[in-house]
Amino acid sequence: MSAGPEEIAAAVVRLRERGLVAFPTETVYGLGALAIDERAVRRVFELKGRPDANPLIVHVSGEEMARRVAAAWPEDASRLAAAFWPGPLTVVVDRADAIPAVVAGGGPSVAVRCPSHPLTLALIETLGEPIVGPSANRSGFVSPTSASHVEEEFRDEIARGEVMVLDGGACRAGIESTVVSLVTPEPTILRPGVIGASEIARVLGRPVVERAGSEHAAAPMSSPGRMASHYAPRTRAILADRRELPRAITAAEGPVALIALAGPALPAAHRVIQMPADAIGYASSLYRALRDADASHAILIVIEKPPSGGPDAEIWRAIHDRLSRATAPRG
Ligand code: AMP
Ligand code: MG
Summary mean pLDDT of the chain: 93
Which of 190, 287, 321, 322 to mutate for ligand 1's pocket (most ligand atoms within 8 Å of CB)?
A: 190
Percentage of residues in the chain having pLDDT higher than 70: 95
CA of 268 from ligand 2 middle (Å) equals 32
For residue 167, what are the contacts with CB-CB under 8 A and spacing of at least 6?
1, 2, 3, 7, 24, 147
- Angle formed by the axes of helices 5-16 and 118-127, nearest 10°: 40
Residue 117: per-residue pLDDT: 97
Segment 234-250, tens digit of pLDDT: 999 999 999 999 999 99
Q: In the predicted model, is pLDDT for residue 73 greater than 80? A: yes
Residue 225 or 7, more confident: 7
Segment 253-290, tens digit of pLDDT: 999 999 999 988 899 999 999 999 999 999 999 999 99
Segment 135-167, tens digit of pLDDT: 999 998 999 999 999 999 999 999 999 999 999
Q: Which band of pLDDT confidence, cut at 50, 70 and 90, is reported for residue 219?
A: very low
Instruction: Report the alpha-carbon distance of residue 10 to residue 253 in Å, rounded.
Output: 49
For residues 217-252, one letter each, b for 16 or more C-beta atoms within 10 angstroms of the residue's C-beta and e for the rest, the string is eeebbbbbbbbebbbbbebebebbeeeebbebbeeb
Residue 74: per-residue pLDDT: 97
Q: How is the chain split into domains, by residue range?
A: 5-210, 237-326
Determine how β-strand 30-34 pairs with β-strand 20-23.
antiparallel
Architecture of domain 5-210: Alpha-Beta Complex (3.90)
Q: In the predicted model, is pLDDT for residue 1 greater than 80? A: no
Residue owning the nearest CA to atom 13 of ligand 1? 223
Classify domain 237-326 at the CATH superfamily level: Threonylcarbamoyl-AMP synthase, C-terminal domain (3.40.50.11030)
Residue 221: per-residue pLDDT: 45
Instruction: Report the alpha-carbon distance of residue 117 to residue 209 in Å, rounded.
Output: 29
Instruction: Report the alpha-carbon distance of residue 40 to residue 55 in Å, rounded.
Output: 15
CA of 303 from ligand 1 middle (Å) equals 26
Q: Which band of pLDDT confidence, cut at 50, 70 and 90, is reported for residue 331?
A: low
Residues in contact with ligand 1 by the CB-under-6-Å rule are 55-57, 90, 92, 104, 107, 109-111, 134-135, 176, 179, 181, 190-191, 222-225
CA of 258 from ligand 1 middle (Å) equals 30
Q: In the predicted model, is pLDDT for residue 213 greater than 90? A: no
Whole-model pTM? 0.93
Residue owning the nearest CA to atom 19 of ligand 1? 110
For the chain, what is the radius of gyration of the CA atoms? 19
Q: Which band of pLDDT confidence, cut at 50, 70 and 90, is reported for residue 224?
A: low
Phi-psi group of 286: left, alpha or beta (phi > 0 → left; psi -120 to 50 → alpha; rest → beta): alpha
Length of the chain: 331
